[in-house]
Amino acid sequence: MCGIVGAIAARDIVPVLIEGLKRLEYRGYDSAGIAVIRGHTLQRVRSTGRVAELERIAQTTDVTGLIGIAHTRWATHGAPSEKNAHPHVSGGVSVVHNGIIENHEEMRDKLRSLGYRFVSDTDTEVIAHLVNWHLKACGDLFEAVRRSLAELVGAYAIAVINEADDQRLVVARMGAPLLLGLGNGQNFAASDASALVQVTQRIVYLEEGDCAESQPHRR
Ligand code: GLU
């Protein structure tokens, strides 16, 4: 299990995501990636190189956004490769995941029968498709994540964003660490508080089974 960083703000959050991943590098990883939303367009960069290489690609391809998720992977299902690197995407839904989904084969079969096509060998891709499926039915990202997690067995920390809504970051955990970092007009998530020291000291640790939604402003 490696690292997750998420951020939602009224400014470009790519530097926060990259800095967070750099602070989690000590855990080791085989690949890394980020997904951010700008306007209503999801941009994703993944690499089997170091986080510095990911940063270089993000800069040269002008990847910026007000909301995003980032990941360092330690492969459990599927080889360390770019196609298996997180974030995984289904339609406008993008997911990063630490942990293992034990019933991923059964869920793969179910999702295939619903018309989903898998492009990676990971257990994580089932989460992306399942959230997409539930989102189509209920129209609410938080509810779609909750419905999806009710069908999954295993250990996870996840962060999820949806291209159609750059005001909501949804996270959840069971058997893997995840916390929220609170800022003024900006909020963060990470698997370890050390990933967020550069942006906030105000940390809320999620409990087992928690699912949380974060927005840039208090409502
Ligand atoms: N099981 C997932 C994968 O193999 C997540 C691995 C991790 O925790 O980094 O992609």
Q: How far is the CA of 20 from the centre of ligand 1 (A)?
A: 18
Q: Per-residue pLDDT for the chain (219 aa), expressed as one digit of tens each? A: 689 999 999 999 999 999 999 999 999 999 999 999 998 899 999 999 999 999 999 999 999 999 999 999 999 999 999 999 999 999 999 999 999 999 999 999 999 999 999 999 999 999 999 999 999 999 999 999 999 999 999 999 999 999 999 999 999 999 999 999 999 999 999 999 999 999 999 999 999 999 999 998 654
Instruction: Report if pTM > 0.95.
Output: yes
Spatial distance between the Cα atoms of 196 and 91, rounded to a whole number of angstroms: 29
Ligand 1: atom nearest CA of 97 is 5
For residue 10, give the H/E element and its range. none
Spatial distance between the Cα atoms of 65 and 143, rounded to a whole number of angstroms: 24
- Contact in structure between 17 and 34 (CB atoms under 8 Å): yes
Spatial distance between the Cα atoms of 136 and 121, rounded to a whole number of angstroms: 24
Nearest partner of 166 among 32, 89, 69, 86, judged by Cα: 69
Q: How far is the CA of 86 from the centre of ligand 1 (A)?
A: 8
- Contact in structure between 102 and 76 (CB atoms under 8 Å): no
Q: How far is the CA of 174 from the centre of ligand 1 (A)?
A: 14
- Contact in structure between 71 and 16 (CB atoms under 8 Å): no
Residue 5 Cβ < 6 Å to ligand 1: no
- What are the helix (H) ranges across the chain? 14-24, 51-60, 104-113, 125-138, 141-149
Model pLDDT, residue 2: 86
Q: Burial letters for 146-156: b for 16+ Cβ neighbours within 10 Å, e otherwise?
A: bbbbebbebbb
Ligand 1: atom nearest CA of 3 is 9
Residue 123 Cβ < 6 Å to ligand 1: yes
Residue 2 Cβ < 6 Å to ligand 1: yes
Q: What are phi and psi of 185, to 5 degrees?
A: 70, 15
Q: For residue range 152-164, what is the model confidence (pLDDT) as tens digits?
A: 999 999 999 999 9
Task: Using CB atoms within 10 Å of the CB of residue 164, give its burial: 0 to 12 exposed, 13 to 18 middle, 19+ buried.
Answer: middle
Model pLDDT, residue 1: 66
Residue 142 has which token pair? 């938080």
